Amino acid sequence: MNVTPIRRALVPGVAALALLLSACGGDAEGDSGDGGDAADLANLSGEVAGGGASSQEAAQLAWIAGFTTVAPEATVTYDPVGSGGGRESFISGAFAFAGSDSYLTDEEGELTSATERCGGEAPIQIPNYISPIAIIHNVEGVDDLNLSPEALAGIFAGKITKWDDPAIAATNEGVSLPSAAIDAVHRSDESGTTENFTDYLDAVAATQWDAGVVETWPEEYGGQGAQGTSGVVDAVTSGTNSIGYADASQAGDLAVANIGVGEEFVAPTPDAAAKILEVSPPAEGASDTALIFDLDHTTAEAGTYPIVLTSYLIACQTYSGDEAAAGELAKGYLSYIVSAEGQQFGADEAGSAPLSDELSSQVQDVVEGITVE
Amino acid sequence: MTDTTTDQPPRLDDSGSRATRAGDSIFSGLASAAGLTILLALAGVALFLVIEGAPAFTASGESAYGKDNIVVYVWPLLYGTLLAAVLAMVIVTPLAVGLALVISHYAPRRVGTYLGYLIDLLAAVPSVVYGLWGRVVLAPALLPLYLWLSDNLGWIPFFDGGESGPTHGRTIFTAGIVLAVMALPIVTAICREVFIQTPRIHEEAALALGATKWEMIRMTVFPYARSGVISAVLLGLGRALGETMAVAMVLSGAGIITIDLIGTQNPSTIAANIALNFGNASGSKINTLIFSGLVLFVVSFAVNFVGRWIASRGEVKG
């Protein structure tokens, strides 16, 4: 119901954007793929169903709206059932493609099942959605806050309880920190954001944060619980001396902390977030068609923001038989998502970080390699 | 049953023409179908909860959200549910009785009627709106009060506030206030109805004996309405027990047990916990959440049952 007005508003915008980009692309580097794609996409028709990670929901809605303007006859649906549900439905064949916050592993046999589902070929796995998790805060008189990983972990573990604690003051010279209790806000629901955040804390400050990687906040660490991203943002906004973690796109007017990486402090900008995939090593099981990474949270690389949510697209290398038509569409849609304009559109609409140029071309090659028989 | 039917049939058969008899049977069929639907729906819900919740009996570790067993997981939630609901009732009972008295006995009839409408309007506000109001307006507004309570009355365990004092207003006390406002319409409406039904002759007799208005109310209205007020409060309690969205939004809950009403961490409630975690749950975690729903179902059922029983007992006496 909401889609229609959005689509309506988007059509002129995307059309203009597409014109602009195709004009630019033309004289920059006659990339043979781009021109051909646009023509191919316009001829696509039919329906394809995908779904999975709810973190991607806003971006997927934007991409579907954008894709519909270049391929008006095509209908794509994305059901935000959650990463686990998405992988399950992909394996069962209900989804032609899936979005997932974690890559496929064989811990529970998912990779094997997915390979069987794709006719014996390993499924493709590509990062398509990167979003920095910002540390938002609302402390009187403090706009610029630098936090070392240890201080951040200490605050959220309930071990640092005052804003003028030496651990915070050490990295904030010249800032007058109030001698007030810290109101640390976390998600009260089970959440992928919490999982990514604690994954970071566990990696960089295991001495302060000893609860490991969790989706549900460990209650012994205290703090204020709030429902959903909007709840956390609300609680931090209306609170005093509060701090919380939330998707950077939802931070609004709140001040965001710079996080210590190596010798410097980095703000959660899209570029800095996208950079983490460049400095992270490929995960076990990575291949030419599975561009999967184990995020290197402990990186000291300059200009990298380390608290990041990455989400992957999972699809088959080959679609055949009954699924050929859907496969054709899925390929078109995926190629739109990972294209430069798709990534930029996602960034504008959903606040995600566009893939870096190098990774972007790798990902596009993988999608190009999808065949339909 | 059979006795009464054999006693009665002549009267039933003789009354009315053929047309009304058809109408009678249609209406009685519809009415019984409606009654049966309720029973079936209730049985269906109970059956669903039992079947889906049963596997959670043996849940532990991952499927019990990191707790050792299901009891350890559900008990703090049940405690929070009861605490929030009881708090709400402590707040709402004097308020509702007072309001109902104003409407039925003190205010001029027209003013009372409008006041009644206004209170009934509270019932039409969606619980999400109450949640937003509690989260954005009420909680920050109450924080100074909690700080004061913790500083000055901190020796009372209820107002301890924790080590570093309250840091936010989204406490179980706030949740209790929101629940009280939400339960206010139903409790007030029932109290008002039973107060109005006090026999006029009792009231006049009390006044004739020289009682003041307040004495008259104490001597005639309250004794007459006692069972009605109790059942009103228990119905309100049922409402507060099952409230989901507002609590999920207002309360900063965790699976803990504490009698500190204004601390940073508060016991969560069953309904709010289900709402918070169902979206992301899969596999055996769903069973665990449904089992907690079964516990809530049984508790709400018991509360309503007791409410009805007290009300009916009062009627026999009165």
Domain containing residue B186: CATH number: 1.10.3720.10
Chain B residues interacting with chain A (CB cutoff of 8 angstroms): 65-66, 135-136, 139-140, 143, 162-165, 167-168, 170, 248-249, 251-256, 264-265, 268, 276-277, 279-282
Q: Is the pLDDT of residue B164 over 80?
A: no
Q: Residue B47 falls within a domain, yes or no? A: no
Q: Residue B282 falls within a domain, yes or no? A: yes
The verdict on a CB contact (< 8 Å) between B280 and A239 is: no
Q: Is A219 on the interface with B (CB under 8 A)?
A: yes
What pLDDT does A221 receive?
A: 86
What are the tokens at B251? 């309360």
Q: Residue B132 falls within a domain, yes or no? A: yes
Strand partners, A312: A100, A127
CB under 8 A, 24+ apart: contacts of B154-162: B157/B259, B157/B260, B158/B259, B158/B260, B158/B261, B158/B262, B159/B260, B159/B261, B159/B262, B160/B260, B160/B262, B160/B263, B161/B260, B161/B262, B161/B263, B162/A222, B162/B260, B162/B263, B162/B264, B162/B265
Best CA proximity match to A244, nearest among A258, A225, A261, A264:
A225
Least confident of A293-297, A354-358, B7-11, B221-225: B7-11
CA gap A21, A41 in Å, rounded: 16
CA gap A6, A1 in Å, rounded: 10
CA gap B122, A362 in Å, rounded: 58
Give the best residue of B79, B168, B260 to mutate against chain A (max A CB count within 10 A). B168
For residue range B78-120, list pLDDT tens digits in order. 999 999 999 999 999 999 999 999 999 998 989 988 998 899 8
The verdict on a CB contact (< 8 Å) between B248 and A84 is: no
Q: Is A227 on the interface with B (CB under 8 A)?
A: yes
The verdict on a CB contact (< 8 Å) between B168 and A162 is: no
Region A233-253 average pLDDT: 88
How big is the A-B interface in CB pairs under 8 Å? 85
ipTM: 0.75
What are the tokens at A353? 């970080």
The alpha-carbon gap from B63 to the nearest alpha carbon of chain A, in Å, equals 12
The verdict on a CB contact (< 8 Å) between B265 and A215 is: no
Of A190, A231, A240, the CB nearest to B280: A190
The verdict on a CB contact (< 8 Å) between B254 and A234 is: no
Mean of per-residue pLDDT scores for chain A: 84
The verdict on a CB contact (< 8 Å) between A227 and B265 is: no
For residue range A76-133, list pLDDT tens digits in order. 999 888 788 888 889 999 999 999 988 888 877 889 999 999 988 999 999 999 999 9
Mean of per-residue pLDDT scores for chain B: 86
Least confident of A61-70, A265-274, B57-66: B57-66
Q: Is A139 on the interface with B (CB under 8 A)?
A: no
The verdict on a CB contact (< 8 Å) between B170 and A222 is: no
Determine if the pTM surpasses 0.80.
no
Contact residues, chain A, for B143 at CB < 8 Å: 240
Q: Residue B184 falls within a domain, yes or no? A: yes
Residue range(s) defining the domain that contains residue B273? 59-317
What pLDDT does B101 receive?
A: 93
Best CA proximity match to A100, nearest among A76, A120, A123, A128:
A128
- For A:60-99, CB contacts with B below 8 A are 82, 84-85
Classify residue B20 by burial, with Cβ atoms within 10 Å: 0-12, 13-18, 19+: exposed
The verdict on a CB contact (< 8 Å) between A181 and B252 is: no
Residue of B nearest to A181 (CA): B164
Q: Residue B41 falls within a domain, yes or no? A: no
The verdict on a CB contact (< 8 Å) between A161 and B282 is: no
What backbone torsions phi and psi does residue A181 show, to the nearest 5 degrees? -65, 140
Residues 6+ apart with CB under 8 A from B300: B238, B241, B242
Domain count of chain B?
1
CA gap A22, A332 in Å, rounded: 17
Q: Is the pLDDT of residue A4 over 80?
A: no
Q: Residue B44 falls within a domain, yes or no? A: no
User: Domains in chain A, ordered, with CATH?
Assistant: 4-131+278-294+309-372 (3.40.190.10), 132-269 (3.40.190.10)
Q: At what angle do helices A3-28 and A32-43 cross, to 10 degrees?
A: 150
What pLDDT does A34 receive?
A: 42
Of A182, A188, A239, the CB nearest to B276: A188
Contact residues, chain B, for A229 at CB < 8 Å: none
Q: Residue B144 falls within a domain, yes or no? A: yes
What are the tokens at B128? 């999400």
CA gap A19, B206 in Å, rounded: 88
Contact residues, chain A, for B277 at CB < 8 Å: 189-190, 216
The verdict on a CB contact (< 8 Å) between B276 and A240 is: no
Residues 6+ apart with CB under 8 A from B36: none
Contact residues, chain B, for A227 at CB < 8 Å: 248-249, 276
CA gap A33, B39 in Å, rounded: 64
Q: Residue B52 falls within a domain, yes or no? A: no
Number of Cα atoms under 13 Å in the Cβ half of residue B313: 11
